[in-house]
């Protein structure tokens, strides 16, 4: 099954774009040749993340996460925690969330 997230042309070449996701949000961004989609939810208390200088930074208490790996780099989110990447696929001119395939 699949659900369209965003048109490929609407994904910026730098930084990220926040897209709605079933009542929540994702950050979608380009990482080299790949396009990544990651939950916009901090692993401390669920705060929203901002894309700053190549990192995802929590707006509430400042946890930093690596955009390539999702791993926590600093701040109050648990050590060894990792943001949730979604399974996606490019089809035609759009990026889809895919599941159950």
* Interacting residues toward ligand FES by CB under 6 A: 42, 44-47, 58, 60-63, 75-77
C-beta of 28 vs 77, nearer to ligand FES:
77
Give me the least distance between CB of 46 and ligand FES, in Å please.
6
C-beta of 20 vs 46, nearer to ligand FES:
46
C-beta of 3 vs 24, nearer to ligand FES:
24
Give me the least distance between CB of 93 and ligand FES, in Å please.
34
Q: Are 67 and 31 in contact (CB under 8 A)?
A: yes
Radius of gyration of the chain measured on its C-alpha atoms: 13
Report the Cα 20 to chain-centroid distance in Å: 11
The two structure tokens encoding residue 10:
């609407």
Map tokens 């930093």 to a residue: 64
Map tokens 């730098």 to a residue: 14
């Amino acid at each position: 099954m699949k659900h369209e997230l965003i048109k490929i042309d609407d994904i910026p070449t730098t930084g990220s774009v926040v897209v709605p996701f079933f009542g929540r949000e994702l950050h979608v961004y380009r990482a080299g040749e790949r396009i990544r989609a990651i939950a916009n939810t901090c692993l401390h208390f669920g705060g929203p993340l901002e894309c700053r200088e190549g990192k995802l930074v929590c707006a509430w208490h400042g946890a930093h996460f690596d955009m390539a790996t999702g791993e926590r780099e600093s701040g109050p989110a648990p050590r060894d925690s990792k943001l949730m990447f979604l399974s996606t696929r490019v089809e035609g001119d759009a990026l889809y969330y895919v599941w159950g395939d």
